[in-house]
Amino acid sequence: MNTIYLREQLRQFLIEDIGYGDLSSALIDGQDESVATIVAKEQGIFCGKPIVEELATMQRLELVSCQEDGRAVTPGDELIVLRGKTRAILETERVLLNVIQHTSGIATMTRQCVDALHDDAIHVTDTRKTTPGLRMIEKYAVRVGGGYNHRLRLDDAVMIKDNHIVALGGVTNAIQVARERVGHTTPIEVEVESFEQLMEAVQADPDIVMLDNRTPDELREWVRHIPTHIKIEVSGGITLETIDDYRGIRIDVISLGQLTHSVRAFDCSLNLQGGMKDATTRNTSADVR
């Protein structure tokens, strides 16, 4: 990830949540210190170490320990341990939990899809169906989960979809115009929705064809007509429950909006040890649990 951009995003997240000041945490002695532990409450894939590191630095907290990204965790596993001013920990808590629950949820879903497909010849990728403002973070989480990224932005590649085909007067003309306009390092992909469009696309020779909303049986027939130098992407209607139906088909990529647009947050919680409530026994060492 771009750490400069990440730091700016996290700064905005903290501003949004803290506002002009945390009225609740202001009740606590400003010199009070605590140790906070974030614990997993379900099985999944942890994702977010760079985020935790940046937040700890920004909030002047000591990051005692943090799971590595991509690590499989189970209920009760210790994900993160932070030490520092109690006020700073509590000011940071919601932003930290919101982000790592989201990223870990995406990484978990991605790993589940990769495992269910169980075909190393096919890459599982995300789409641009991401939360506005969170694309970099969400696509990072997909990589942590064992998936791959589709284009990050509209300027990464030419992707000719149905409306482009209509506006440009057909598949052939759309591909030809793209080839005339973009440089040799920019890939050209075209989405097709019928066998006739596929045959037209093959003749125009794009870098990638996307076969949209096709059944596994249809795909097995269609790919026979596609030269091996053209990469094949499939998308539309594929879910965690159905992805294994595509195992063994000669395709290169399965793209899933589900990885980012409707993923469930990973369940974890932050528990505070030390603080004013047990000041007589407080120990701010990492051994406080």
Residues marked active site are found at: 94, 129, 161, 191, 212
Token readout for 250 is 């000669």
CA 260 – CA 19 distance, rounded (Å): 28
Pairing of strands 253-255, 231-235: parallel
Q: Which of 192, 125, 126, 186 is nearest to 158 (CA)?
A: 186
Q: How far is the C-alpha of 213 from the C-alpha of 99, rounded, in Å?
A: 32
| SS3 labels along the chain | CCHHHHHHHHHHHHHHHHCCCCCCHHHCCCCCEEEEEEEECCCEECCCHHHHHHHHHHCCCEEEEECCCCCEECCCCEEEEEEEEHHHHHHHHHHHHHHHHHHHHHHHHHHHHHHHHCCCCCEEECCCCCCCCCHHHHHHHHHHCCCECCCCCCCCCEEECHHHHHHHCCHHHHHHHHHHHCCCCCCEEEEECCHHHHHHHHHHCCCEEEEECCCHHHHHHHHHHCCCCCEEEEECCCCCCCHHHHCCCCCCEEECCHHHHCCCCCCEEEEEEECHHHCCCCCCCCCCC
Sign of the torsion angle spanned by Cα atoms 281, 287, 288, 289: negative
